Amino acid sequence: MAKVLTRIFATPSKYVQGLGAINELGKHVKDLGKRAFVMGGPTALSLTEESMRKSLKESGVEVVGVDRTVKECTHEAINRLSKESKDKGAEVIIGAGGGKAVDTAKAVAWRAGELPVVMVPTQCATNADASALSVVYTEKHEFVEYLVYPKHPELVLVDTNIVGRCPAKFLVRGMGDALACKFEAEACRASSSPSFLGGLSTDAGLALTQLCFENLMKFGLLAKRSMEMGAVTPAVEKIIESIKLLSGVGWEVTGLAAAHAIHNGLTILPGLHAEHGEIVAFGTIAQLVLESKTLEEINPIVDWCVKVGLPTTLAELGLSDVKKEDLLKAAEKACDPNDTMGNMPFPVTPEMVRDAIIVADRIGKERKGK
Ligand SMILES: [Zn+2]
């Protein structure tokens, strides 16, 4: 592989977060385009459409179309919506919802003539908003491909009155995904592996992932407790920023490694019953084992996972009866040369991954039982 020598850092042009931020949408969109096409799922738009319309109207931005049917980021949806937004003369695309809606909006904006795109997330289980890529699936949620764009969204607008008041389980999943970014960033740095931007990570990128991890450890549990009470406290604001901005930008500018590769490997096992962030959190513990971190380093992180309600055992992932030979198959998948295991700073074999998973599970059981 050719050596990469340059460091790259890139982000969305503007990030806005706070209680009632959606009421400022028009103010930020008006400089991007005067004709907006809005898309999202029915739930997301029932939460946001009225406020978005009001704010856009106040700033002189016309809504030329609304599609409330986005369920999955498929090529069919991208083709249909990019044609429709072109036909309606859209100048800016707004995607409201979870990862699927914002990924669809990014793809539509690009296809409809490299239009500016605005992300209005409605929950925090994903950190897809800030990145310059979409993950395309089939209607049955089978992975198809990554679409990578040369530019980032112009605006990520996070109204914590909406995102901070969704069920706390979404926050927990988002934290699980965000937990990995510091460790994967450090692995990519140690191996001089390029990030998704095609360059090495900068110290700025690494600092984002470090702060993300510190915030999770300090404020994660308090944020979850707050959201369970329907309260948007400073801890909730900190954790939403950690998921949406620190990890959202951080992972893209530093790179992925074992934690996500192990996630991808585990997804082939029948019985697996967990969300992306939950599986990534478990994969993070397995990566720490793989890196021969000490129990003094691993235990506090496992204890934090137990406290916030992230799975730390195979049983909690729906894999209580998984056989060793099936774990080896998952480990082989995790070591697929097209995946990110190769970003680890030492050679990794499927047997090493299987054993790290078994030990991560054992540590999780011990810490849960203590
Ligand atoms: Zn992830």
Residues 15-31 have pLDDT tens digits of 999 999 999 999 999 99
Burial of 71 (0-12, 13-18, 19+ CB in 10 A): middle
339 counts as catalytic: no
CATH 3.40.50.1970 segments of the chain: 14-163
User: Which distant-in-sequence residues (6+ apart) come within 8 Å of 176 by Cβ?
Assistant: 275, 276, 277, 278, 279, 280, 281, 305, 310
Question: Domain 168-369 classified CATH 1.20.1090.10?
Answer: yes
pLDDT digits (tens, 9 = 90+) for 125-159: 988 899 999 989 888 777 888 899 999 999 999 99
Q: 90: CA distance to ligand 1 center in Å?
A: 31
Residue 1 has pLDDT above 70, yes or no: no
Q: 85: CA distance to ligand 1 center in Å?
A: 30
pLDDT of residue 196: 87
Give me the catalytic one of 31, 75, 276, 336: 276
Q: 276: CA distance to ligand 1 center in Å?
A: 7
State how beta strands 143-148 and 155-159 pair.
Answer: unpaired
Q: 92: CA distance to ligand 1 center in Å?
A: 27
CATH 1.20.1090.10 segments of the chain: 168-369
In CATH terms, the fold of domain 14-163 is Rossmann fold (3.40.50)
pLDDT digits (tens, 9 = 90+) for 339-364: 999 999 999 999 999 999 999 999 99
276 counts as catalytic: yes
The long-range contacts involving 43-46, CB below 8 angstroms and separated by at least 24 positions, are 43/97, 43/122, 44/96, 44/97, 44/98, 44/101, 44/122, 45/96, 45/97
Give me the catalytic one of 159, 263, 339, 361: 263
Residues of the chain above pLDDT 90, percent = 91
Whole-number mean pLDDT of the chain? 95
pLDDT digits (tens, 9 = 90+) for 101-127: 999 999 999 999 999 999 999 999 988
28 counts as catalytic: no
273 counts as catalytic: no
Q: 309: CA distance to ligand 1 center in Å?
A: 18
